[in-house]
C-alpha cells in the first residue's frame, strides 16, 4: 500500500488561516431592511472589501508562522478544493511545481477560504484528526 502524504500543519491552523482570509475578503455590511432595494442589490451590498489593516497584518503573520511546508499545504488544499487535483499527493506536486498559489494569489480570490476548507474536507479533515505527519524533503533543507 502506497503511503499517502498528509498535512504538515494541523487542521486548526488551516481553519484559522481560512477564517483570517475570509475576514480580509469581506465583512457584512449594515443594511436597513426597509431601504427599498431588491434582493440582488442587497447581495451586492452585503460584501464590502475590508479596509482593516489589522486583518491583513494578522493574516500575513499567520502565513509566515506556518512556514514553507504549511504554506505548500495550504496551496495544495486550495488546488484540491478547486478540483485541480485528484488527491492531496497530486495537489502537493502541482503546488510545488507551480510555486504557489501564494498569499498574494489568495488575496485576489474571494472564494479562497471556502476552497481551502473544501480541500481540507476532501482529505477527511472535518474534525481535528488531520495532523502533521508529512516528512521533510529528502534534502533535509528547511527553507
Measure the CA–CA gap between 48 and 139, rounded to whole angstroms. Answer: 45
> CB-based contacts of 99: which residues, under 8 Å, 6+ apart?
none
∠ CA 49-20-79, nearest 5°, is 95
Q: Is the confidence at residue 136, as pLDDT, over 70? A: no
Contact 109, 81 (CB under 8 A): no
pLDDT in tens, 74-120: 999 999 999 999 999 999 999 998 777 899 999 999 999 999 999 99
Contact 127, 93 (CB under 8 A): no
The pTM (predicted TM-score) of the whole model is 0.69
> CB-based contacts of 20: which residues, under 8 Å, 6+ apart?
55, 58, 59, 62
Measure the CA–CA gap between 21 and 61, rounded to whole angstroms. Answer: 12
Of 5-14, 21-30, 107-116, where does mean pLDDT reach its minimum? 21-30
E-assigned strand segments in 47-129: 47-48
Amino acid at each position: 500500500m502506497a503511503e499517502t502524504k498528509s498535512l504538515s500543519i494541523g487542521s486548526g491552523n488551516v481553519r484559522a488561516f481560512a477564517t483570517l482570509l475570509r475576514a480580509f475578503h469581506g465583512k457584512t455590511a449594515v443594511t436597513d431592511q426597509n431601504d427599498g432595494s431588491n434582493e440582488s442589490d442587497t447581495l451586492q451590498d452585503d460584501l464590502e472589501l475590508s479596509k482593516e489593516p489589522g486583518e491583513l497584518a494578522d493574516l500575513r503573520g499567520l502565513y509566515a508562522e506556518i512556514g514553507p511546508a504549511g504554506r505548500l499545504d495550504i496551496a495544495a488544499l486550495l488546488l484540491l478544493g478547486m478540483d485541480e487535483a485528484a488527491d492531496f499527493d497530486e495537489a502537493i506536486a502541482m503546488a510545488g511545481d507551480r510555486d504557489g498559489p501564494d498569499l498574494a494569489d489568495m488575496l485576489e480570490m474571494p472564494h479562497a477560504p471556502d476552497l481551502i476548507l473544501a480541500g481540507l474536507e476532501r482529505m477527511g479533515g472535518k474534525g481535528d484528526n488531520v495532523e502533521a505527519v508529512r516528512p521533510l524533503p529528502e534534502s533535509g533543507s528547511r527553507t
